[in-house]
C-alpha cells in the first residue's frame, strides 16, 4: 500500500518501509515537508490525477449572486486588505528594482496595518474555523470560477494558497491538541515566496509548495530574540 503527501507529493510505500503506514503514530509527519499524517492519502488511480484535491464538483461553489457588486466591493477594501495590497505592490516594485517606490508602498502598508481594528473573536478556535471555511468553500469557489474563466494565474494561487492553508490549519490544530511541546527547541520557518510554514531546525532544501531554495525561508524569531 502507498500513501501520498497532499502537500509535497512524498510517497510512503509500506513495502519499502519497516513500519506499515497505518501503524505510524499520529504525531508522525512527512519527512520532506512536515505535513501531518492525516494529510496523506492513497494515490489517485484515475488518469486525471493532476486535478488538485478537494475540487469535488458536487461540493463546488454554491450559485451566488454575481458580479454586480464586485467592482464596488473592490473599492471598499478594509484597512487590513489595503495593507496587504500595498505590501504586494511594494514587492512588485522590488522585483522591478524600484527601491524608492517600494519604500513608499511599504509606508502606506504600515499605515493601514496600524489602523486595522482588532477582531472581536481573536482566539485559536475562531482562527481554525476561518481556515476550515476557506478549505471547504472559499478555495473551491475561487478554483471553479478560475477554471471556468480559463484563468491559470488564479488557479495557481489556489494550488499554493490551499496547500499553505492546509499546513497552517494542521499546525494550529496540533498546537491545540498537544500544546507548545512540539515547538520547543526547534524553529518555525516561513517561505518568503508562498508562505509555506515548516517546523524544524533547518528549512527544507526546496519549498514543497513553490519549489524555491532554502535561503528563501525566513526564521520566525521569538519575542526575546527579536
- As measured in angstroms, the least distance from the Cβ of 17 to another protein is 30
Near another protein by CB under 8 A: residue from 43, 74, 202, 211: 74
Residues 37-56 that bind another protein (CB under 8 A): none
- As measured in angstroms, the least distance from the Cβ of 192 to another protein is 7
By beta-carbon proximity to another protein, the closer residue of 14 and 101 is 101
Q: Which stretch binds another protein (CB under 8 A): 9-17, 22-30, 38-46, 73-81?
A: 73-81
Q: How many residues bind another protein (CB under 8 A)?
A: 88
- As measured in angstroms, the least distance from the Cβ of 96 to another protein is 6
Q: For the chain, what is the HEC assignment?
A: CEEEECCCCCEEEHHHCCCCHHHCCCCCECCCCCCEHHHEECCCCCCCCCCCCCCCHHHCCCCCCCHHHHHHHHCCCCHHHHHHHHHHHHHHHHHCCCHHHHHHHHHHHHHHHHCCCCCCCCCHHHHHHHHHHHHHHHHHHHHHHHHHHCCHHHHHHHHHHHHHHHHHHHHHHHHHHHHHHHHCCCEEEEECCCCCEEEECCCCCECCCCCCEHHHEEECCCCCCC
Per-residue string for binding with another protein, 194-213, x by CB under 8 A?
A: xxxx----------------
Per-residue string for binding with another protein, 117-156, x by CB under 8 A?
A: -xx-xxxx-xx--xx-xx---xx-xx--xx-xx-x-xx-x
Q: Does 166 bind another protein (CB under 8 A)?
A: no
Near another protein by CB under 8 A: residue from 78, 136, 200, 202: 78
- As measured in angstroms, the least distance from the Cβ of 163 to another protein is 10
The angle formed by the CA atoms of residues 10, 13 and 15, to the nearest 5 degrees, is: 165
Near another protein by CB under 8 A: residue from 24, 32, 53, 104: 104
Amino acid at each position: 500500500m502507498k500513501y501520498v503527501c497532499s502537500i509535497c507529493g512524498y510517497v510512503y510505500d509500506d513495502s519499502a518501509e519497516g513500519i506499515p503506514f497505518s501503524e505510524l503514530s499520529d504525531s508522525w509527519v512527512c519527512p520532506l515537508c512536515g505535513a501531518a499524517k492525516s494529510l496523506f492519502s492513497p494515490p489517485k488511480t484515475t488518469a486525471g490525477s493532476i486535478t488538485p484535491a478537494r475540487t469535488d464538483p458536487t461540493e463546488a461553489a454554491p450559485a451566488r449572486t454575481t458580479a454586480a457588486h464586485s467592482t464596488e466591493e473592490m473599492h471598499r477594501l478594509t484597512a487590513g486588505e489595503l495593507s496587504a495590497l500595498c505590501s504586494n505592490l511594494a514587492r512588485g516594485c522590488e522585483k522591478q528594482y524600484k527601491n524608492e517606490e517600494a519604500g513608499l508602498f511599504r509606508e502606506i502598508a504600515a499605515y493601514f496595518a496600524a489602523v486595522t481594528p482588532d477582531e472581536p473573536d481573536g482566539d485559536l478556535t475562531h482562527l481554525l474555523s476561518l481556515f476550515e471555511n476557506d478549505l471547504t468553500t472559499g478555495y473551491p469557489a475561487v478554483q471553479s470560477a478560475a477554471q471556468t474563466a480559463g484563468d491559470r494565474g488564479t488557479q495557481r494561487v489556489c494550488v499554493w494558497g490551499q496547500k499553505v492553508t492546509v499546513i497552517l490549519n494542521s499546525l494550529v490544530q496540533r498546537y491545540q491538541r498537544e500544546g507548545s511541546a512540539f515547538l520547543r527547541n526547534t524553529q518555525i520557518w516561513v517561505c518568503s515566496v508562498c508562505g509555506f510554514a515548516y517546523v524544524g531546525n533547518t528549512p527544507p532544501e526546496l519549498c514543497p509548495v513553490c519549489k524555491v531554495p532554502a535561503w528563501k525561508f525566513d526564521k520566525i524569531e521569538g519575542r526575546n530574540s527579536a
